[in-house]
Amino acid sequence: MVSPGILLVDKPAGLTSHDVVARTRRAFGTRKVGHAGTLDPMATGLLVIGIEGATRLLTYVVGADKTYHATIRLGQTTGTDDADGDITAQAAPEAWSAVTPEAVAAGIAALTGDISQVPSAVSAIKVDGQRAYDRVRAGEEVVLAARDVVVSRFDIVAERVGEGTRDLDVIVDCSSGTYIRALARDLGAALGVGGHLTALRRTRVGPFSVSDSVGIDALEGAPTLTAAEAAGRILQPLPVTDDESRDLRHGKRLAGQAARIHGSLAAAIDTDGVLVGIVEKRGADLKSAMNMPQVAS
């Protein structure tokens, strides 16, 4: 029997997130596998995979903030805002005179903090039930609505000058839902030379780091975090007694216990170190927001 757990995978370029899920299903011998947060085929890095009952935890991972290492190429615009698309515009030589260090710093500053961002038209966002990228491939013109995101860090760590281009290696800390391709596009547009993404690597999702992940060829027998270990990283761990565990599993509230947790949610962990579920505040009480399926002993 497959134990529920969270698997951290370092996705290579060229595979979709669904490809990684499919390989995980084969490696673990179960169909019940899901992931938290899609990575484009071009992108590499951390993919958080849920196995068996731990897939219920993924909803609490999806909204976590993330860290990316990326390369932005200034001087060229593409149809997809990344290197997978055809080049649609090349900056004129005279346009580069305005791309001073001060202008680049100002452009990055304008894209840092609380910002409103229009996602790339070839994103996985659904429009009337269909992925935006599918509509674009079908020849439709897709303009997505702007969304509010938070970019808490946008730092340049290296620069390289090419023939008619300039590459910026950057590190970005951001909220869930932020599109790094859109940052590249918008920085290039603000500088008047265009821009797109040529490399993207996700190194962190909430409390999980790519340094703790396994490669795609090491899935067989790969170590996983137990549901309790993973939930205790994502949320405040809340030890509960046997009686409290039973009450939560039966849908009963823990009366007058809301003060035991700091935020609105916590991970209830029983005396055996097993995750009972996620609890939430309801007035002065705690109640189950999600219960884990009990594994027969």
Give the pairing of strands 214-215 and 5-11: parallel
Enumerate the H helices of the chain as residue ranges: 17-28, 58-62, 101-110, 132-137, 180-191, 227-234, 242-249
CA-to-CA separations, 243 to 139, 183, 248, 266, in angstroms, rounded: 59, 51, 9, 18
β 113-117/87-90 pair status: unpaired
Pick from 14, 13, 9: nearest CA to 37:
9
Cβ-based burial of 241 (10 A; exposed 0-12, middle 13-18, buried ≥19): exposed
Which of the following is catalytic: 40, 82, 186, 270? 40
242 is catalytic: no
CA 42 to CA 11: how far, in whole Å?
10
Backbone angles phi, psi at 288, to 5 degrees: -70, 130
Among 262, 258, 288, which residue's Cα sits nearest to residue 275? 288
User: What angle in degrees, to the nearest 10, is found between the helix axes of 180-191 and 101-110?
Assistant: 140
Report, as residue numbers or ranges, the catalytic residues: 40
